Structure 1
Amino acid sequence: MSGMFFSIYYTSLEILGANDEIRERRSDFENSEDERRRSRIGSLKKKAINASNKFTHSLKRRGKRKIDYRVPSVPIEDVRDEREESAVLELRQKLLERDLLPPRQDDYHTLLRFLKAREFNIERTIQMWEEMLIWRKEYGTDTILEDFEFEELEEVLQYYPQGYHGVDKEGRPVYIELLGKAHPSRLMRITTVDRYLKYHVQEFERALLERFPACSVAAKRRICSTTTILDVQGLGMKHFTRTAANLLAAVAKVDNCYYPETLHQMFIVNAGPGFKKMLWPAAQKFLDPKSIAKIHVLEPKSLGKLLEVIDASQLPDFLGGSCTCSAEGGCLRSNKGPWNEPEIMKLVHNAGATVVRQVSRGRTSDTLTAESGSDVDDHCSTSGRRSSAPCLAPVHEEWCSFLVIIFLYLCLCLWNLC
């Protein structure tokens, strides 16, 4: 009996020993795993700390907050007249004193445009500027891109063909209207003068924020004006309606009072012989020399002169170029231009700028470097503080002058001189 007891006892000890040995091995294995796990975690921590330190050092070294490092820097040349710059600084100071300079409008080229519109008379410019600010507030211009939707646009374009298409040889956007193919009476069946005017203002604001800045990046020089082509082929008495007059008058007021001095040059094309021989000389008596210098009248056989300022690839075939935009439904539907290039628009939406100023012989040359997401001063402002709107604007200019021309043209149509 005792032998059996000791046998069981020793067997139990062997089992216990074996269990202890298993536990020790398991403990050793677990300890080893823990050490390896701690080692891996430590290694990952070191890598994370090193990466963080490198990133922090990089930010400190650059002194800028980066949003998208893949967007490269682009230099933009901006040449300024020293005397004009002095006038802009004087105007800016007076506007600040009168609390008339919101950050959105605190912009060198915007101020300069208004000064030019009032022949650099400071007080008259301030009056015009104040009226513009009142109108923008009442009209809701600052938010019109988000607040207004022109659902009838496609139908409107059928009865008033128009649109941006490409750029001229200096990088300015080209805007085209086929006035002879417009149908004012049909147009007013699908929209109203008020709604169309809102669309017109919306397009101005879109150009301020997108089209002109995109052209500046693409051309690597400051773009502040447009080249406009007005095709008058087919224009006649059917276009001279009260509705058309009201629409043009409303557009003219907006353009001349609130977006002045944005036209580089205007081409009136496909004009009949009577237009150039009789109408244009008569119209010049009503225009100032500055407006006359901007307007060029071309007969159908003279369309080739457009190629002197616009490359054939940027000009629609119906105006003597080689572009058709067949995949987009025609050139006036394509909205072709740098504002449709994704890489350019990255710069437009994320760009800041560093200004390096040099003054020489009465001229100021600013070399501007647009860089994505950098916390530096706005490249258009003389204030040195960041501005949310670029210094550019779109399409129509000298519309009052053009209305005089159209009126005389229609008079000639009555007498069958065209």
Structure 2
Amino acid sequence: MEVSRPSTLNQDCMSLQLLIKTFTYPELHRVLEAWPQNWHKTDKLGRPVNIQLLSRLKLSDVFQATTEDRLLMRAMWVWEELHECRLPACSTAAGSYIGQATVIFDLHNVSVSTFTNVHVRRILSKMANLFSRYYPDYLGRLIIINVPVAFWVVWEMLRPFINDRTQKKIRIHRGNGLEDLLNTIHAEDLPSFLGGRCRCPGGCEHALTGP
């Protein structure tokens, strides 16, 4: 089952795709150790779920392993891989068209210094701009949980880069957002560290489970 590319991807983005096809990222293991993130199963609608554990972020280690530009390239590669591989697999598993993903950001115990870090502020604004320009149709839901007070400073900085349609897909929770998570993802597919019942061997954050 072929997943069609959203109309927002114009000729400019096609040139990016050619660049991304040649992109290699040998530092991936070191980056994932410092910034755990993963695709993990699907939500109730069959959409792939991406979990970003900023709660375990080791900022200095990230930028010892890679650079801002390479993080941006990696982010674009992830969304291209979503289009080329993951969404078609989810569509086949569901028996119907799946064209979007659900993303979870866990900000538990993220410090003020992280939000005010010059690298973080710069790369988040660039990522928000790129995503809003090229990939907004891929987002089904963005659930941000355990939000600290300092987050709102960054949110006000990012909001101008995010179009209104995308903002309506975002839910922000000061607490664990468990009710929202369980309304979106079956408990048996939600990692236990987020309040679900899934306990993948070796940890859900490393399991790469799902279609």
TM-score by length of 1: 0.45
| Aligned twin of 2:123 | 247
Query: Against the structure 1 CA distance between its residues 262 and 242, is the aligned structure 2 distance closer, same or farther, given a 3 Å change threshold?
Result: same
Query: Against the structure 1 CA distance between its residues 289 and 275, is the aligned structure 2 distance closer, same or farther, given a 3 Å change threshold?
Result: farther
| Aligned twin of 1:331 | 204
Residues 217-296 of structure 1 aligned to structure 2 (within 5 Å): 217-239=92-114, 240-272=116-148, 279=152, 290-296=165-171
Residues 6-405 of structure 1 aligned to structure 2 (within 5 Å): 109-112=4-7, 114=8, 129-137=10-18, 140-141=19-20, 144=21, 147-239=22-114, 240-272=116-148, 279=152, 290-300=165-175, 302-326=177-201, 329-338=202-211
Which structure: greater helix fraction? 1
The answer to whether the 8 A contact 1:184-1:243 is kept is: no
The answer to whether the 8 A contact 2:132-2:163 is kept is: no
Residues 143-197 of structure 1 deviation map (CA, whole Å, 9 limit, x = unaligned) = x2xx333222121112111111110001000111112322222211111122222
Q: State the alpha-carbon separation in 1 of the partners of residues 38 and 101 from structure 2.
A: 12
Q: State the alpha-carbon separation in 2 of the partners of residues 165 and 108 from structure 1.
A: 20
Residues 9-31 of structure 1 deviation map (CA, whole Å, 9 limit, x = unaligned) = xxxxxxxxxxxxxxxxxxxxxxx
Query: Against the structure 1 CA distance between its residues 215 and 294, is the aligned structure 2 distance closer, same or farther, given a 3 Å change threshold?
Result: same
Query: Against the structure 1 CA distance between its residues 111 and 231, is the aligned structure 2 distance closer, same or farther, given a 3 Å change threshold?
Result: closer
Q: State the alpha-carbon separation in 2 of the partners of residues 134 and 172 from structure 1.
A: 27
Residues 247-275 of structure 1 deviation map (CA, whole Å, 9 limit, x = unaligned) = 22332333222323211111111225x58
Larger CA Rg, structure 1 vs 2: 1
Aligned-pair identity in percent equals: 31
The answer to whether the 8 A contact 2:34-2:62 is kept is: yes
Q: State the alpha-carbon separation in 1 of the partners of residues 3 and 24 from structure 2.
A: 31
Structure 2 unaligned spans of 5+:
none
The answer to whether the 8 A contact 1:323-1:331 is kept is: yes
| Aligned twin of 1:86 | none
The answer to whether the 8 A contact 1:180-1:236 is kept is: no
Amino acid of the residue matched to residue 334 of structure 1? Answer: A
Q: What secondary structure does 1:155 align onto?
A: helix
The answer to whether the 8 A contact 2:136-2:166 is kept is: no
Q: State the alpha-carbon separation in 2 of the partners of residues 187 and 163 from structure 1.
A: 16
The answer to whether the 8 A contact 1:312-1:322 is kept is: yes
Q: State the alpha-carbon separation in 1 of the partners of residues 66 and 26 from structure 2.
A: 10
Q: State the alpha-carbon separation in 2 of the partners of residues 211 and 168 from structure 1.
A: 14
Offset of residue 304 of structure 1: 3.1
Offset of residue 330 of structure 1: 1.0
Q: What secondary structure does 2:44 align onto?
A: coil
State how many pairs are aligned.
206
Offset of residue 301 of structure 1: 5.4
The answer to whether the 8 A contact 2:176-2:194 is kept is: no
The answer to whether the 8 A contact 1:226-1:264 is kept is: yes
Q: State the alpha-carbon separation in 1 of the partners of residues 199 and 169 from structure 2.
A: 27
TM-score by length of 2: 0.84
Q: What secondary structure does 2:5 align onto?
A: helix
The answer to whether the 8 A contact 2:54-2:105 is kept is: yes
Q: What secondary structure does 2:178 align onto?
A: helix
